[in-house]
C-alpha cells in the first residue's frame, strides 16, 4: 500500500487559508462597522458657510463636529454648536454659540446681554450688538430650548430673529470641535486676552 504524502500535506494548508480568509473578512466587517458608527454617532465633518461666526470661524473653515459630546451631558453656555432645525425651510447646518440655557430669561439692551436680569461677561471677543431683534423684550426659554448668537453679532442670523428663533435640544447635531484647515480646537479660538 502506497502512501501519498502530497495529498496529506495539503489539508493543513487549505485549513490555514480558510482560517485566514475568515479572519480577514471579520476584520473588514469590524472596520466597516466602526467607520459607520464613527461617522453616524461620533464625528462628522462640515464647512462653515458665511461670516456669522467671525472672528472665531471664517467662511469655508472645515469643522469636525463632535456628535458624541452631548450624549451624556447637556450643552453649556458659550459652547459653539452645530444644529439643523426641523420643520424649517432650510436644510443646512448652522453654527452658532450658546448664550442662553433652558429655563433662563434672555434680554438684549444697548448691546448688553442680560440673563435672568444680570449682564453676562463673555470670554471671547465680539462686537457690540446694534440690533437686539426679538430679544429687545425678555425671552423666556423652555426646558429644552437654547438661545444662540453668532460671534459676528452685526452680521448674524441667530435666535434674535424669527426665522431661526430658539434652538431645540433635539435639533443640536453636536459641538463644533476642531477646525481642520488651520488646526485648532474651536473653543480655544478668539478667547479674550487676559489683562496683565
Q: Which element (helix H / strand E) includes 23?
A: helix 5-37
Q: Looking at the domain assignment, is residue 196 inside a domain?
A: no
Q: Looking at the domain assignment, is residue 8 inside a domain?
A: yes
Cα(148)–Cα(168) distance, integer angstroms: 11
Q: Looking at the domain assignment, is residue 195 inside a domain?
A: no
Instruction: Record the cell numbers describing residue 191, joined without a space.
Output: 478667547
**Contact criterion met (CB below 8 Å) for 172 and 64:** no
**Contact criterion met (CB below 8 Å) for 54 and 179:** no
**Contact criterion met (CB below 8 Å) for 181 and 61:** yes
> What is the CATH number for 64?
2.10.109.10
76: annotated active-site residue? no
Q: Looking at the domain assignment, is residue 67 inside a domain?
A: yes
Residues 6 or more apart in contact with residue 74 via CB below 8 angstroms? 102, 169
Q: Looking at the domain assignment, is residue 173 inside a domain?
A: yes
Number of separate domains in the chain = 2
90 and 180, same domain (yes or no): yes
**Catalytic residue among 10, 16, 45, 52, which?**
52
109 and 174, same domain (yes or no): yes
Cα(156)–Cα(1) distance, integer angstroms: 91
86 and 29, same domain (yes or no): no
96: annotated active-site residue? yes
**Catalytic residue among 67, 96, 126, 159, which?**
96
Instruction: Record the cell numbers describing residue 175, joined without a space.
Output: 459641538
**What end-to-end distance do the CA atoms of the chain give, in Å?**
97
Q: Looking at the domain assignment, is residue 193 inside a domain?
A: no
53 and 4, same domain (yes or no): no
120 and 53, same domain (yes or no): yes
User: Pick from 169, 163, 176, 194: which is nearest to 100 by CA?
Assistant: 169
39 and 64, same domain (yes or no): no
pLDDT, one tens digit for every residue, the chain (196 residues): 455 555 556 778 888 889 999 999 999 999 998 888 777 778 889 999 999 999 999 999 999 999 989 988 999 999 999 999 877 666 789 999 999 999 999 999 999 999 999 999 999 888 889 999 999 999 999 999 999 999 999 999 999 999 899 999 999 999 999 999 988 999 889 888 753 3
Q: pTM, whole model, 2 decimals?
A: 0.80
99 and 86, same domain (yes or no): yes
21 and 77, same domain (yes or no): no
13 and 103, same domain (yes or no): no
4 and 85, same domain (yes or no): no
Domain that holds residue 114: 48-188
Amino acid at each position: 500500500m502506497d502512501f501519498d504524502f502530497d495529498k496529506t500535506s495539503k489539508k493543513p494548508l487549505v485549513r490555514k487559508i480558510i482560517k485566514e480568509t475568515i479572519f480577514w473578512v471579520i476584520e473588514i466587517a469590524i472596520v466597516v462597522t466602526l467607520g459607520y458608527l464613527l461617522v453616524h454617532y461620533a464625528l462628522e465633518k462640515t464647512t462653515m458657510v458665511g461670516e456669522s461666526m467671525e472672528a472665531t470661524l471664517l467662511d469655508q473653515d472645515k469643522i469636525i463636529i463632535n456628535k458624541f459630546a452631548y450624549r451624556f451631558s447637556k450643552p453649556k453656555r458659550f459652547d459653539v454648536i452645530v444644529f439643523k432645525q426641523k420643520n424649517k425651510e432650510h436644510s443646512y447646518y448652522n453654527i452658532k454659540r450658546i448664550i442662553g440655557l433652558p429655563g433662563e430669561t434672555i434680554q438684549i439692551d444697548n448691546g448688553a446681554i442680560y440673563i435672568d436680569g444680570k449682564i453676562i461677561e463673555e470670554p471671547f471677543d465680539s462686537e457690540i450688538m446694534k440690533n437686539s431683534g426679538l430679544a429687545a423684550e425678555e425671552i423666556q426659554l423652555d426646558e429644552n430650548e437654547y438661545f444662540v448668537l453668532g460671534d459676528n453679532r452685526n452680521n448674524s442670523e441667530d435666535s434674535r430673529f424669527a426665522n431661526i428663533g430658539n434652538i431645540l435640544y433635539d435639533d443640536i447635531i453636536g459641538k463644533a470641535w476642531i477646525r481642520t484647515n488651520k488646526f485648532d480646537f474651536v473653543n480655544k479660538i478668539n478667547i479674550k486676552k487676559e489683562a496683565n
